[in-house]
Amino acid sequence: MCADEISSRARQIHFSSLVFDAHADTPQRLFFDQFDLANRDAEGCVDIPRLREGGVGAIFFALWVPVEITGRAATQRARGLLDAVLKQIEIHSDALALCVSSKEVMSAQAKNRIAILLGIEGGHAIDNDLEILRKFQAQGVRYMTLTHNAATEWADSSNDAPRHNGLTDFGKQVIREMNRLGMLVDISHVSDSTFYDVLDTSRAPVIASHSCCRALCDAPRNLDDAMIKALASRGGVIHVTFHDGFLSQEYANANRALASEIASHEKEVGQKFGDNEARNLMGLQRLSNESIRAGKLPQVSWEKIIDHIDHAAGIAGLDHVGVGSDFDGAFMPSGMEDASKFPFITEGLIKRGYGETDIRNILGENTLRVMAEAEEVGHLLNSEKP
Ligand SMILES: [Zn+2]
């Protein structure tokens, strides 16, 4: 598909909406490769020219810390990523604005600046210390994905054997402190039991920043219908993600069959690029693309994203669905290779019969609202304090 295929109605709606991407891994590129966001670079998915082309007005940059990095080193990695993002915002202050509240997102939008927001991905980055969490919040971090693909010392992950059967008591303290700080709790990557513990503990609505629907693709990282319903019933938002392996059952199955080939390639890539996570990921993306070309993996169409949005909206209601691409952190479906392709989401929703208000909500207003609600809970909890 090419940009000409976007209807004028889709353009009109898309480019007058707040498009809010709840999750991208671009900081890895800024940190390891000193990538300059002003450069349009086909190797990655996100840069200023393509955010503009895609009409993206706000984006959460994930400060992702691999699970192998623990203790103080995990905190340091997250800080390094954060500094790399702040540096880019400073250099490109004409185009970008660091935003730490829903109001700031709106004012950036009014000034035609792209709102950059910070989220930590992997709760091990706080090294079991609420003071570190508070420092990150003071530096602008507004959500934390509680785990990545392994359990932390206080929360279980969907990709790891259960260690705590959900959240530990300290884990619950983390949630309460995040509530007080007005930070969004992100349940993408956590185990099902952690998810339910979070819902029982959190005073504010929570988000899945980048997760799909398990009913359409049975991956432990995706949410089943009961979870989507529970998340929405407490005001939360599921942000559908674009990763092939979470969108498509066929891809996930074929990928499982290639597990040993992928593992050996992963080792090879790791030896070549060391801890440069941006390069490691690109190496694995290349393998995925080669495997698709060789017919070993199916090609996934971007329209699967619409299938997942549609399914989630059917369960959660239209006010509880958003988008979280995972650009620069995952394998993108055909037709949604980078941020410039975002208008196709609007086009796809129009074709499925979605109305203008619902489309605006899915594109970004729901995310903005849930942020504002978390801020409100923070104010309330602080005013309750003696
Ligand atoms: Zn992730």
Cα of 386 from ligand 1 centre, angstroms: 38
What mean pLDDT comes out for the span 248-253? 96
Cα of 209 from ligand 1 centre, angstroms: 8
Structure tokens belonging to residue 35: 């990538």
* Res. 6 pLDDT band, cuts 50 70 90: confident
Cα of 90 from ligand 1 centre, angstroms: 26
| pLDDT the model gives residue 287 | 87
What digits encode the pLDDT tens for the residues 175-218?
A: 999 999 999 999 999 999 999 999 999 999 999 999 999 999 99
Separation CA 58–CA 51 (nearest Å):
9
Cα of 326 from ligand 1 centre, angstroms: 7
Q: Which domains does the chain have, with CATH numbers?
A: 3-249+300-384 (3.20.20.140)
Cα of 9 from ligand 1 centre, angstroms: 33
What mean pLDDT comes out for the span 54-59? 98
Separation CA 95–CA 18 (nearest Å):
16
**Number of neighbouring beta carbons within 10 Å of residue 95:** 18
**Number of neighbouring beta carbons within 10 Å of residue 369:** 18
Cα of 361 from ligand 1 centre, angstroms: 23
Separation CA 333–CA 310 (nearest Å):
17
Check whether 2 has a pLDDT greater than 70: no
Check whether 260 has a pLDDT greater than 90: no
Check whether 308 has a pLDDT greater than 70: yes
* Percent of the chain residues topping a pLDDT of 70: 98
Separation CA 312–CA 319 (nearest Å):
10
| pLDDT the model gives residue 385 | 65
Separation CA 192–CA 222 (nearest Å):
10
Cα of 96 from ligand 1 centre, angstroms: 23
Cα of 147 from ligand 1 centre, angstroms: 9
Separation CA 7–CA 302 (nearest Å):
17
Cα of 144 from ligand 1 centre, angstroms: 11
Cα of 228 from ligand 1 centre, angstroms: 18
Cα of 121 from ligand 1 centre, angstroms: 7
Check whether 137 has a pLDDT greater than 60: yes
Separation CA 245–CA 214 (nearest Å):
11
* Res. 48 pLDDT band, cuts 50 70 90: very high
Cα of 46 from ligand 1 centre, angstroms: 16
Check whether 32 has a pLDDT greater than 80: yes
Q: Distance of CA 221 to CAs 84, 167, 175, 243, 370, Å? A: 28, 17, 20, 11, 21
Cα of 25 from ligand 1 centre, angstroms: 8
Considering the chain, what is the average pLDDT of its residues? 96
* Res. 265 pLDDT band, cuts 50 70 90: confident
**H or E segment and range at residue 238:** strand 237-240
Give the contacts of 193 (CB within 8 A, at least 6 positions apart).
Answer: 156, 162, 165, 166
Separation CA 235–CA 230 (nearest Å):
9
Cα of 155 from ligand 1 centre, angstroms: 15
Phi first, then psi, for residue 207 (nearest 5°) are -120, 155
What digits encode the pLDDT tens for the residues 82-103?
A: 999 999 999 999 999 999 999 9
